[in-house]
Amino acid sequence: MNKYCQGPKCHTYMTQDRKRGIKGDKYFQTRSVRYGYGDNNFCTTICLGDWWAEHGTRAIDHFGRLHQPIRLAPENAWIKDYRYRRDDNGYDHYFLNKLTNERIPLTLAQYDDNDYTLERARQT
């Protein structure tokens, strides 16, 4: 089943690939999208922007508008990261605190395991 670009003006951009029909009965139509923008819902960032202009504010109000800034503080600044070691062509994997630069070493298996959380790393 075709998945169509959700851009409300997609059909108005008169490109050859949107052109359909026979002589005397030509028209332009919305593109289908397999790999695109906005989680593969739009054929171009222009169509994404057109959708946003029409629906964006209502979408934010529907899903929840921020009324306070979100803070990045040491307690939520942890990411999984890795570093290349030039001396032996290996990699170091670790939890990294982006604010304090604290590191907790990880094995590759722990790094790849989405269930291996900071809390689990701190228990060992």
Q: Where do contacts with Zn ion occur on this chain (CB under 5 A)? A: 5, 7, 10, 31, 43, 47
Which C-beta is closer to Zn ion: that of 54 or that of 102? 54
Closest CA to 50 of 89, 82, 11: 11
d(CA 33, CA 65): 29
Cβ–Cβ < 8 Å for 11, 18: yes
Q: What is the closest distance, in whole angstroms, from the C-beta atom of residue 60 to Zn ion in the complex?
A: 22
Report in angstroms how near the CB of residue 62 gets to Zn ion at its nearest. 23
CB of 65 to Zn ion, least distance (A): 27
Task: Measure the CA–CA gap between 7 and 38, rounded to whole angstroms.
Answer: 11
Q: Dig out the tokens for 91 from the structure.
A: 């990699």
Nearest approach, Cβ of residue 22 and Zn ion (Å):
23
Contact 40, 34 (CB under 8 A): yes
- In the bound state with Zn ion, the residue whose beta carbon lies nearer, of 52 and 116, is 52
Closer residue to Zn ion (CB): 10 or 106:
10
Residue with smaller CB distance to Zn ion, 4 or 116: 4
